[in-house]
Structure 1
Amino acid sequence: MEHEKVNILLVDDQPAKLLAYEVILKELGENLVVAASGREALEILLKNEIAIILVDVCMPELDGFELAAMIREHPRFQKTAMIFISAIQVSDIDRLRGYEMGAVDYVPVPVVPEVLRAKIKVFAELYRKTRQLERLNTELEDRVRARTAELERSTAQLVESEQRRSMAIAAGKMGSWDWDWINGDWMWDDGQYRIFGVDPEKFEVTSVNIQALLHPDDVEALRKVVVEFTKGARSYEAEFRICRPDGEVRWCVGTAAATVDRQSRVVRISGVTIDITERKRAEERQSLLTREVDHRAKNALALAQSIVRLTRADNVKTYVDAVEGRISALARVHTILSLSSWQGAEISRLVDEELAPYSRAGQIKLSGMEVQLQPATAQTLALALHELVTNSAKYGALSALSGQLAIKWQVDDNVLAVTWEESGGPVVLPPTTRGFGTRSLIASVETQLGGQTAFDWRPEGLVCRLTVPLARQALTPSQAADASASRLQRVS
C-alpha cells in the first residue's frame, strides 16, 4: 500500500535553484510545491497543509529568517519543519538565530543530493507518522466518547431498571437474596430486610441469624430444601413463616435457583422472597366466611324445619298460611342480618320490618333506645313479634281502624324489656286455652333466649311483656327446636 504523500514547500528567488531542488527530491515521491518569494510562500501556506519548508536564507524583500519568524507566529505552523539553505558561510550566531526562528536543520551550498533527500525523507516520515498518530488519537477519542456515551446510557438504563425493580419489589412486597454456597456469605436487598422487619444497619445476615427469624415449625422443612440442592435440585419453591423481632408472624413464599460450576457442583443460590401474608389472611377470611355461610344456612334450614314441625292448624290452608308467615318473618330478619354481615340487627329496624304490612298512619307508635341484637336473639324475637302481629291482625287492635298499638323497649342491667300494648280494638276476652302461636312465642322466648313472657288480656286490649337477657348465649336452632318442642308440651 503506497504511503500518503505530503506537501514539501520549496522557497527560493532563483528559478534554477528551485528546479535543482525539484530534480533532487522528485524520487521521494512527495508533492513538491514551489514559491519564488517569501510572500508567495505565505500565500501557499495559508491554502495548503505543508509538511516541510525548504527555504533559502538569502532572498530579497523577505529573507529566510524573516519568513521563518512570520510562519512561526501563525498557530497552524508552529511545529512545521523548516530547513534553511545557505550559499554563504553562516556563523554560529546566525545558526542560533535560525534555530530560534524555528529551523530544524541547515543545508549548505553546494547541496549534496543524497544528504538533502535523506533529511527531507526523515522529516516527511516524521510528519506522516505524526499525522497518523493524530488521526489515531482522534479516532480513539471518538471511540472513547462513543463508548463513554454508551456506558452512560447503559448506566442510566441500569439505574432506571434498578429503580423500577426496587419500586416493583417495594410495591409487591418482594425481596431478593444471594447465598454464596462455598463461603456462606449472604447478600440481601432492601426488600428482604423490610420483609423480615430488621434494620440493615444492625442486622448481620448470617445463616444462624436468618434461622432465628424463621417460624420454629418451618425450620425443618427449609433444611430439607437445602438438602435437595445437594442432591441435584436446581430450583425450589416453598411457603414458610417468619417471626419478626416485634413478634408479628408473616407468611412468605420463597423461590430459589442454584448456580453450578463445570463439575455441576452448587456454588451459589439466588432467590426471591414474597410477603404473602395478606393473601393468606384473605384465604383465611374466605374460609371463615365459607364456614360461616354454611353455618348460617344450616341454622336457617333448622329454623325452617322447626317452624314446619311445630306449626299446628285445623286445615291445610291455615297450616300453609301459618308456615309461610313465619318463614317470611324469618326471611325478613335474615335480610337485616345479611346487610350487617351477620354482626347483628337493630331492634327498631326489626320491629319496622315485622309491622310494615300492617302500618297505618297514626295507628302504631314505637319508642325506645337503639339496641343491637345478636343474630340468634334477633331471629327468635322476630318470630315472637310475628306471632303477636299475626294475632293482633286477626283478633286484636290491628284488625280495626280504630285500634292502637304501642311498642316500647328499654335495657336495664343488660336485660331487654319489650312491652306490647294494644287498645281501641275489639273487646278482648281472656282465652280459655292457649293457641299454638302463643305457646310457640312463650317457648321460643323462654327456652331459646332464657327470657320471660307475661300476657295481660285486658278488655281494651292485650298487653304482653317480654324480657330477654342480652348477654345469654342463645341455643342453636336445632337445639332450640328440640327444646321448644319439649316446652310446648309443658305450656299446652
Structure 2
Amino acid sequence: MDQEKVNILLVDDQPAKLLAYEVILKDLGENLVIASSGREALEVLLKTEIAVILVDVCMPELDGFELAAMIREHPRFQKTAMIFISAIQVSDIDRLRGYEMGAVDYVPVPVVPEVLRAKIKVFAELYRKTRELERLNHELEDRVRARTAELEASTAKLRESEQRRSMAIAAGKMGSWDWDWISGDWMWDEGQYNIFGVSPENFEVNPANVQALLHPDDVDQLRKAIAEFNKGTRAYETEFRIIRPDGEVRWCVGTAAATTDESGRVVRVSGVTVDITERKRAEERQNLLAREVDHRAKNALALAQSIVRLTRADEVKAYVNAVEGRINALARVHTILSLSSWQGAELSRLIDEELAPYSLGDQIKLAGPEVQLLPATAQTLALALHELFTNSAKYGALSTRAGRLAIDWQVDEELLTLSWEESGGPLVKTPKSRGFGTRSLLASIESQLGGQAQFDWRAEGLLCRLEVPLTRKTAAAAPSKFDTAGAAELQRASG
C-alpha cells in the first residue's frame, strides 16, 4: 500500500538553488513546497502541515536564524525538523546558534545529493511514524470514550431498574433492603447479605453493624443520606465502598426512596444496592492501558530519535544501514515484550532474535540458564547485543567461516554476568579510539543499568564481559527508561 506523502518546505531566495533542491529530492516521492523568502515560508507554514524545512542561512530581509526563531515561537512548529544549508564557513558559535533555534542538522555547500536525500528521508519517515502513533493514540482514546459512554448509558438504565423495587431479586450483584424509619427495624433480602459478605445467621442488621461494614471514608455518605431524608428529600443515590468481614473491598451504588405519611413525615425508606466492583475495575484497567500506550509510544519515539541523531557514518549507505539495524533491534525486543504483556523477556530469546539474520551453523556456542529480564533491562541489553553482533559480523570472528563465538552467562546474587569470546577470526588490534557502537554500548550498560562493560582486544579475538544488575530500581521501572536521560548519556558517549 502506498504511504501517504509528506510536505517538505524548501526556503531559499535564489531560484536556481531551489530548482537544484527540487531535482535532488524529487526521487523521494514527497510533496516539495517552495518558498523564496522567510515571510513566504511563514505564510506556507500557517496553511500547510510541513514535515521537514530545508532553509538557507543567508537570505536578505529575514535570514535563516531569524526565520527559525519565529517558527519555534509558534506552538504548532516547536518540533518541526529544520535543516540549515550554508554556503559560507559556519563557525561553532553560528552552528550552536542554529541548534538553539531548533535546527536538527547543517548541510554545507556544495550539497552532496545523496547526503541531502538521506537526511531528508530520515526526518520525513520520522514525521510519518510520529503521525501514525498519534493516530493510533487518538483511536485508542476514541475507543475509551466510546466504552465510557456505554458504561454511562448502562448505568442510566440500571438506575431506572433500581427504582423498581420488584427488580431487586436475590442475586449476588443486587440486593434490596427496607428500613422502618419509626421502629428502626431493618429487612435485607438474600442479595443484600451476599453483597456485604455476611449471613442472616450471624449478622444482625442495625445501623451500628451496617456502619461497621462501610469504608471509613464513606461513612459520611450514610449520615448525609439520613440528613437529606430528614430535610424532606424523597430519593437519594450514591456510590460507596464496603469492607467485607474477610477484608475484601467492594464498590456499590445505592438507591433509596422514602415513603411518607399524610403529614409528610418519613415513615419508611426502601432501597436497592448494586455491586459495581467489576465495572470500577474495568474502568481502572482502561485508564491504565491508555496511560501505558501513551507512555510507551513517547519512549519509543525518544529512543528512535536518539538513534537517528546520534548515529555516525562516513557514507550515506552505512548511515542508513546503521540506523535501520538499531531500530530493527529495538523493534524485535519490543515484539518480545509485547507478547509477554510487558512483563519481561528471556535473555536467550534476545540472543536468538539477533542471531536470526545470520547463517552461522556451528560457529556460535551458547551456554547459560534461563534468565528473565525486566523490560528496561531487556531493551538496553538487546541494543548492546546488536552492536556486538554487528561489529563481529563486519570485523570480527563472524566475518569468516573459520571464526568462532562463545556466549555464556550466569546469575549470582541478582547480578547477570555475560561473557562474549571470539576466536579464529581476523587478527585483532586494539582500536586507537572507540567507535560510536562501543561508546553507546558502554553508556547504556553502565549509565542506564548501573552495570559494567569490559573489553579485551586480544589478538585471537575480542573478549567482552558485561555485568548487569537484575534488580536495579531504574531497570524495574516499566516499560522503559530509555528516555531523555538515556539520550543524554549517549550524547556524551558519542561526543
TM-score band, normalised by the shorter chain? 0.5 to 0.7
Aligned pair count reads 324
Q: Indicate if the aligned counterparts of 1:213 and 1:243 stay in contact, CA closer than 8 A.
A: yes
Q: Indicate if the aligned counterparts of 2:170 and 2:189 stay in contact, CA closer than 8 A.
A: no
Query: How many angstroms apart in 2 are the aligned matches of 1:354 and 1:457?
Result: 22
User: Are residue 366 (structure 1) and residue 372 (structure 2) matched?
Assistant: no
Deviations 1:327-359 (A, max 9, x none): 111111111111111111100001111111014
User: Are residue 480 (structure 1) and residue 480 (structure 2) matched?
Assistant: no
User: Are residue 277 (structure 1) and residue 277 (structure 2) matched?
Assistant: yes
User: Are residue 448 (structure 1) and residue 441 (structure 2) matched?
Assistant: no
Q: State the Cα distance separating 1:219 from its structure 2 match.
A: 2.0
Matches within 5 A, 1:219-238: 219-238=219-238
Q: State the Cα distance separating 1:427 from its structure 2 match.
A: 2.5
Q: Which residue of 1 aligns with 2:352?
A: 352
Deviations 1:393-421 (A, max 9, x none): 21122222333222111112221111112
Query: How many angstroms apart in 2 are the aligned matches of 1:338 and 1:437?
Result: 26
Q: Indicate if the aligned counterparts of 1:330 and 1:379 stay in contact, CA closer than 8 A.
A: yes
Query: How many angstroms apart in 2 are the aligned matches of 1:455 and 1:211?
Result: 67
1:358 is paired with a residue whose SS is coil
Deviations 1:227-281 (A, max 9, x none): 3334444333211011223333221111222333444443322111112223222
Query: How many angstroms apart in 2 are the aligned matches of 1:169 and 1:353?
Result: 56
Task: Give the letter aligned to residue 321 of structure 1.
Answer: N
Deviations 1:264-315 (A, max 9, x none): 4433221111122232223223322332333222222222222223222223
Instruction: Say if 1:473 and 1:212 are closer, same or farther in 2 by CA, change over 3 A.
Output: closer
Query: How many angstroms apart in 1 are the aligned matches of 2:219 and 2:352?
Result: 58
Q: Which residue of 2 aligns with 1:333?
A: 333
Query: How many angstroms apart in 2 are the aligned matches of 1:383 and 1:175?
Result: 57
Q: Indicate if the aligned counterparts of 1:447 and 1:484 stay in contact, CA closer than 8 A.
A: no
Q: Which residue of 2 aligns with 1:462?
A: 462
Larger radius of gyration: 1
Q: Which residue of 1 aligns with 2:294?
A: 294
Q: Which residue of 1 aligns with 2:210?
A: 210
- Larger mean CA deviation between 306-315 and 248-257 belongs to 306-315
1:225 is paired with a residue whose SS is helix
* Unmatched tracts of structure 2, length 5 or more: 1-165, 476-480
Instruction: Say if 1:231 and 1:315 are closer, same or farther in 2 by CA, change over 3 A.
Output: farther
- Larger mean CA deviation between 420-429 and 436-445 belongs to 420-429
2:302 is paired with a residue whose SS is helix
1:426 is paired with a residue whose SS is coil
1:205 is paired with a residue whose SS is coil
Matches within 5 A, 1:61-210: 169-170=170-171, 172-210=172-210
Q: Indicate if the aligned counterparts of 1:358 and 1:398 stay in contact, CA closer than 8 A.
A: no
Q: State the Cα distance separating 1:363 from its structure 2 match.
A: 2.3
Q: TM-score, normalised by structure 1?
A: 0.62
Query: How many angstroms apart in 2 are the aligned matches of 1:418 and 1:262?
Result: 85
Query: How many angstroms apart in 1 are the aligned matches of 2:489 and 2:226?
Result: 59
Deviations 1:165-198 (A, max 9, x none): 89x643x422110112232221011221222222
Q: Indicate if the aligned counterparts of 2:181 and 2:267 stay in contact, CA closer than 8 A.
A: yes
Query: How many angstroms apart in 1 are the aligned matches of 2:474 and 2:387?
Result: 20
RMSD between superposed Cα atoms in Å: 2.2
2:474 is paired with a residue whose SS is coil
Q: Indicate if the aligned counterparts of 2:436 and 2:493 stay in contact, CA closer than 8 A.
A: no
Query: How many angstroms apart in 2 are the aligned matches of 1:165 and 1:369?
Result: 59
Q: State the Cα distance separating 1:326 from its structure 2 match.
A: 0.8
Q: Which residue of 2 aligns with 1:385?
A: 385
Q: State the Cα distance separating 1:377 from its structure 2 match.
A: 0.7
Query: How many angstroms apart in 1 are the aligned matches of 2:473 and 2:326?
Result: 23
Task: Give the letter aligned to residue 483 of structure 1.
Answer: E
Query: How many angstroms apart in 2 are the aligned matches of 1:234 and 1:285?
Result: 36
- Larger mean CA deviation between 372-381 and 288-297 belongs to 288-297
Work out the percentage of aligned pairs sharing the same amino acid. 73
Task: Give the letter aligned to residue 488 of structure 2.
Answer: D
Q: Which residue of 2 aligns with 1:258?
A: 258
Query: How many angstroms apart in 2 are the aligned matches of 1:211 and 1:238?
Result: 15
Task: Give the letter aligned to residue 482 of structure 1.
Answer: A
Task: Give the letter aligned to residue 430 of structure 2.
Answer: P
Query: How many angstroms apart in 1 are the aligned matches of 2:216 and 2:412?
Result: 50
Instruction: Say if 1:359 and 1:419 are closer, same or farther in 2 by CA, change over 3 A.
Output: farther
Query: How many angstroms apart in 2 are the aligned matches of 1:301 and 1:474?
Result: 19
Q: Indicate if the aligned counterparts of 1:213 and 1:245 stay in contact, CA closer than 8 A.
A: yes
Task: Give the letter aligned to residue 259 of structure 1.
Answer: T
Q: Which residue of 2 aligns with 1:149?
A: none
2:357 is paired with a residue whose SS is helix
1:357 is paired with a residue whose SS is coil
Query: How many angstroms apart in 1 are the aligned matches of 2:272 and 2:332?
Result: 52
Q: Indicate if the aligned counterparts of 1:311 and 1:322 stay in contact, CA closer than 8 A.
A: yes
- Larger mean CA deviation between 257-266 and 399-408 belongs to 257-266
Query: How many angstroms apart in 2 are the aligned matches of 1:255 and 1:165?
Result: 13
Matches within 5 A, 1:422-441: 422-441=422-441
